[in-house]
A and B are shown apart, each in its own frame.
Chain A
Amino acid sequence: MAEMQINGVRIEDTFAEAFPMTYTRLVITADTPAWVEAATSSLTGFATSVIGCGCEAAVERLLTPEETPDSRPGAAVMIFGMSTGDLAKLVVNRVGQCIMTSPGSACYAGLLQGTKRIPLGGGLRYFGDGHQISKKFGDRRFWRLPVMDGEFVCEDSVAVAKGIGGGNFLILAASHRQCLAAAEAAVAAIRPLPGVILPFPGGVVRSGSKVGSKYKALIASTNTRFCPTLRAVEPETLLAPNVEAVLELVLDGIDETAIRTGMRAGITAAAAGGTAAGVLAITAGNYGGKLGPHHFHLHEVMGEAMK
């Protein structure tokens, strides 16, 4: 395939390799946007990678009072796990420790149809010590748990569905500051999109990993081929001499379209300033195509944008 450039930024002829995951969506509400933020930042904390955290989570988008079940400010949060069983344990624990504890909060199902359902209030109701109250409106059951600031209202259960985790692209730049600016622009372009989240801090990863390690106990270690400080001693380095920093964006989405749309928006934004802004190339992480069934070829993804 011919070389591709956007504003002089080289788009490598490679692909992002992604994996099937199971996801759910919660709607969190509170009295004010600030308390929505407090609850959701706690709920999505320590949820960057399934490898170390068990799940990957982030706010999908903020919701207006007109969009939430209880007419208050809210946010849609997506949580990805490796299986329905994993997700069932993680979600009820996180909602119990991070949402139920947050003043004025409530938790609703943001995904009503899916492959299975996992418990929310149905698992937390016993905290009510016999004083919990079930209300069923239409097809949806809610639990009212007495707590110190009134009642914690929580939907009984939420659906889970098949999604995709691990869509990604890497930004190679001439300086750390310029790399970070391009990554921030990419995050800002992806965050408004539906059906896709960026689970890492601020939406950006700086410690990309490779499979395996010289230490037997580790299943993953730093991606030496993209470490600028190892360029001189890493025979398989993928960095040109003028690359000073690399940052990665990892995307989890509800389907291939959501991932592809997110990658396209992010790469377009990252390359918008061109080489003048210090962005030298965009590439992607993969494992040779042998591990993940979902392959997002950068030239295909960006070719659709350039048509």
Chain B
Amino acid sequence: MSGMTLTFRGDAGMAVDMSALLPERLAGLTAGEVAGLPLPCGGGVATVGGMFEVSAGDAAEGLLIRPGQAVLHRVGAGMASGRILVEGDAGNHAGAGMSGGLLRIAGNAGDALGGALPGLPLGMRGGLIGVGGSAGDRAAERMRRGIVVVDGPVGAYAAGFMVAGTLAAGDGCGPHPGFGMRRGTLLLGRAQDEAPEGFADGGTRDWLFLHLLRRALEGSGSWFERMGTTRAHRFIGDLAEGGHGEILAVA
């Protein structure tokens, strides 16, 4: 990635709110200007330069974050455009409320990936999130639009209260998937033996639109791009919310 690089150099375990560091906000700023920006961390505020080594480059070309031993929350939260690559793990609320752009996390993501920020009614509403590892609970909660692809497993309440969009979890999910789901797709890379609570068994077949999803993910290297099949077991729900959402478990 030819853009700006932020390499964490602070104390291990430091929690940092990264929501202010978005490509569209940093575009055109020099490394010195970015280093001087305030950033909430560990219950206080520090400058970016106090915690990160900031390389020369334009964030409009992409933002590479090396988290080291830090716990970086809200990475890419509210992002509307541009690219963020995290070379490691991300904390909670990564990509929350995101409306566009690309967020790629090479490691694991915490809770509420692509979900809603506290107090806000809707989660992610555009763009693409790719996670190379696992994700925590409530991934894609209240999601409205966009694609979240997690190569590993996701935690409990995946796609909870989802309004639309797609969450694809390569290694299955925790309990209560699709709780309160209104529309949208939760795609699981593992077979699902029983209909989840609140869902009806819709049978197994080939799904043409999954070809379109695969084309949309071309070049991402995600689990679904690598998987050849479009055959999946469909569960329709959450029936308590009208039953227009779906959980597709690859067969």
Q: Which residues of A contact B (CB under 8 A)?
A: 69-72, 106, 131, 133-138, 142, 144, 150-151, 153
| A153 with B205, Cβ < 8 A, contacts A133-B244, A135-B166 known | no
Query: Closest CB of chain B to A23's CB: distance in Å?
Result: 25
Contacts of B166 in A (CB 8 A): 135
- Among the 9-residue stretches B24-32, B152-160, B173-181, B209-217, the one with 4 or more Cβ atoms under 8 Å from chain A is B209-217
Q: Is residue B208 within 8 Å, beta carbon to beta carbon, of the partner chain?
A: yes
B164 neighbours in A (Cβ, 8 Å): 134, 136
- From A131, A133, A134, A135, B212 is in contact (CB under 8 Å) with A135
Set of chain A residues within 8 Å of B212, measured between Cβ atoms: 69-70, 135, 137, 142, 153
The chain B residue sitting closest to A141, CB to CB, is: B145
- Chain A CB count within 10 A is highest, among B164, B183, B205, B212, for B212
A135 B185 Cβ-Cβ under 8 A: yes
State A137–B207 Cα separation when bound (angstroms): 15
Chain B residue numbers with a CB within 8 Å of A72 are 211
The 8 closest A-B pairs by CB, nearest first: A137-B216, A70-B211, A153-B208, A71-B211, A153-B209, A144-B209, A138-B216, A70-B208
A134→B185 CA distance, assembly (Å): 10
Contact size range, B: 10 to 19
B147 within 8 A of A: yes
| Known A69-B212, A69-B215, A137-B213; contact A151-B207, beta-carbon cutoff 8 A | yes
What is the interface of chain B, defined by CB distance below 8 A to chain A? Answer: 145, 147, 164, 166, 183, 185, 205-209, 211-216, 244, 246
Once the chains are docked, how many angstroms separate the CA of A198 from the CA of B246? Answer: 44
Main secondary structure of the interface of A (DSSP, over half): strand
Whether the pair B208, A136 counts as a contact (CB closer than 8 A) is no
Q: Is chain B's interface secondary structure helix, strand, loop, or mixed overall?
A: mixed
Q: Which residues of A contact B207 (CB under 8 A)?
A: 151
**Are A135 and B209 closer than 8 Å at their CB atoms?**
yes
Q: Is the pair A151, B213 in contact by a Cβ cutoff of 8 Å?
A: no
Give the shortest distance, in Å, between B181 (CB) and chain A (any CB).
Answer: 13
Extra pairs beyond A150-B206, A151-B209 (7, CB < 8 Å): A70-B215, A71-B214, A72-B211, A131-B244, A137-B147, A137-B215, A151-B207
- Please state if A69 and B147 are interface contacts (CB–CB under 8 Å): no
**Complex formed: what's the CA distance from A142 to B205 in Å?**
19
Query: In the assembled complex, how far is the CB of residue B144 from the closest CB belonging to chain A, in whole angstroms?
Result: 10
Given the complex of chains A and B, what is the CA–CA distance between A260 and B247 in angstroms?
53
Kindly report which residue of chain B lies nearest to residue A138, judged by CB atoms: B216
A138 to B216, CA, bound (A): 7
Contact indicator B216/A150 (Cβ below 8 Å): no
* Cβ contact within 8 Å between B216 and A133: no
Tell whether, in the assembled complex, residue A142 and residue B211 are in contact, meaning their CB atoms are under 8 Å apart. no
Q: List 10 A-B contacts (CB under 8 A).
A: A69-B211, A70-B208, A71-B211, A71-B214, A106-B208, A142-B212, A144-B209, A150-B205, A151-B207, A153-B212
